[in-house]
A and B are shown apart, each in its own frame.
Chain A
């Protein structure tokens, strides 16, 4: 297992309305994503545990892109990954945003 931890942001015009919750499941080619609000000066902190090593750059790119796209702020986003492709990661993050928007 490899654990990645980094912060992104803050982005312009952050959406501070996103609350907490979990989407996805840890299963082959899938992942679970836990959103938890935290006071991070509008930044987003990602904590990623993954079973596939050597894709740090990919994770940075995917998460940064999603954070910008959905203007995420003040969230700790913790991910347990079982080999999800970036396509699946993006999809889960999108689902999380849709589900937890207005949750605060």
Chain B
């Protein structure tokens, strides 16, 4: 049956117009004074609205998030918050104070313990925990924001926004909101006559407000080389000699822990000594981690697309436009969506995790704490829609097919988990059963929160060796391959030594000596930079580390 002729097809637009009319008295054109923000939010947000609070890895709309959390819950309540990253106390205050009640999100990091508590207390009704790409996708399906609170570096009076290098989620949020008649309120560090470049066009933006303090940015990807251990260096050597070299990995995504930082820091020394410059690690999708500087400067890494920026790297990135994606104004533009897509279709993902079970499933979930997923599952999963070929992809595919007996020629993405068998305080990384199962029960989730599924993993690298899981032909073999590199953990001690020896003979398990890695060379002397100061030197003083990382 066709809708009646007097059915309204523009309810959203008309409702938005009413809201903007209410908001007009609290703004001067598009510009809102900081002290009027509470009044504006009460004017344009209605109970039950889906509100997107821009929460990235780095940049946070902290001023707006705080104002939202302080709204009068008698007037506005039951908001549905859709937000990629919960990082600030105010992101949860909004629930504790009864302004919001429903949440869809990706990652919660430091707020994980409090989040779990609020869920148990019934203060938060969680729709789902997503990966980044899933949540962005839902902005354009069933989770379109009614109001979005975003952050940018600067704005002009017409609402044109410049995000600076931390563009991150802003384009996805803005597009999903603006083209469904939603309202965008942007907090900016400064209002200027002309923005250096337009990252979000002004006609998408309803209001801009200059926050009393610049938006909060956390240098979360800075790893001090001084803290890299010999064990991490040993594993990095194994990755380079045992994986990057034989698979000729040129396009890849690195995680952001100390393990991958160790790889980056021995590219100019160890990989160079193996003659691998130009042959591996040419293109990466990763934030501009300072530990990449020596690898860039020595000609290993030629191109990097970033999901976000990193504090202190601005000038260095600006001075390397051939390597990074910089705008006509000279500063970088990041974009988490495109970075995730590029990484998903690259040849290799390598990252760390907290727990691995005997089938190679991994999780960062620990009891009483919900950390969520972020981007690792999108990077760290088989890209089944991939069609273009490359050497590493074909080689991994062929090895997989041999193990399973598949006859359809197909490539495979390399998904590598790099972990020490024990983490600090002797907590074992390997476990018979992931804590995720317990967490599922405790929080009444429908699935255990698994970060990377075992069947997507091709290799596990530990200090004991490399397990090529994609070369295993059945679950029993996979289990022994995992146990065979699980060191002296309980999981490792329960190995069937004959089965493990057999896997080693077949090259499914490789010890350092099997791939010609000399364990005695695994010292900090191998690091191209041993300190933050060394990174600054490599950068020609362009890199300016945040004060907390300095010892000068």
Contact = CB atoms under 8 A, between A and B. Distances in A.
A in complex with B? yes
Interface of A: 29, 52, 55, 57-58, 61-62, 65, 83, 85-88, 90-91, 94-95, 98
A85 B420 contact: yes
Contacts, number: 46
B487 A52 contact: no
Interface pairs A-B: 5 shortest CB-CB: A85-B422, A86-B488, A87-B463, A87-B231, A58-B488
Contacts of A58: 426, 488-489, 493
Kindly name the residue among A52, A65, A85 whose own CB sees the greatest number of chain B CB atoms within 10 A.
A85
B488 A61 contact: yes
Contacts of A55: 426
A41 to B, nearest CB: 27
A52 B424 CA distance: 11
Given A58-B488, A61-B488, A87 B422 contact: yes
Contact of A86 (B234, B422, B425): B422
B352 to A, nearest CB: 14
Nearest to A53: B426
Nearest to A84: B426
B143 interface: no
Kindly name the residue among B230, B422, B425, B520 whose own CB sees the greatest number of chain A CB atoms within 10 A.
B422
B230 A86 contact: no
Contacts of A86: 421-422, 487-488
B520 A87 contact: no
A52 B234 CA distance: 25
B230 A91 contact: yes
B369 to A, nearest CB: 22
Interface in B378-429: 420-426
Given A86-B487, A87-B231, A61 B493 contact: yes
Contacts of B426: 52, 55, 58, 83, 85
B488 A62 contact: yes
A94 B420 contact: no
Contacts of B519: 91, 94
Given A52-B426, A91-B231, 11 more contacts: A52-B425, A65-B488, A83-B424, A85-B421, A86-B487, A86-B488, A87-B422, A87-B487, A88-B231, A91-B522, A94-B520
Interface string B473-493: 000000000000001110001
A44 B239 CA distance: 34
Given A61-B488, A86-B488, A91-B230, A98 B424 contact: no
Contacts of A29: 424
B421 A87 contact: yes
Contacts of A83: 424-426
11 contacts: A29-B424, A52-B426, A65-B488, A83-B424, A85-B422, A85-B424, A86-B421, A86-B422, A87-B487, A91-B230, A91-B519
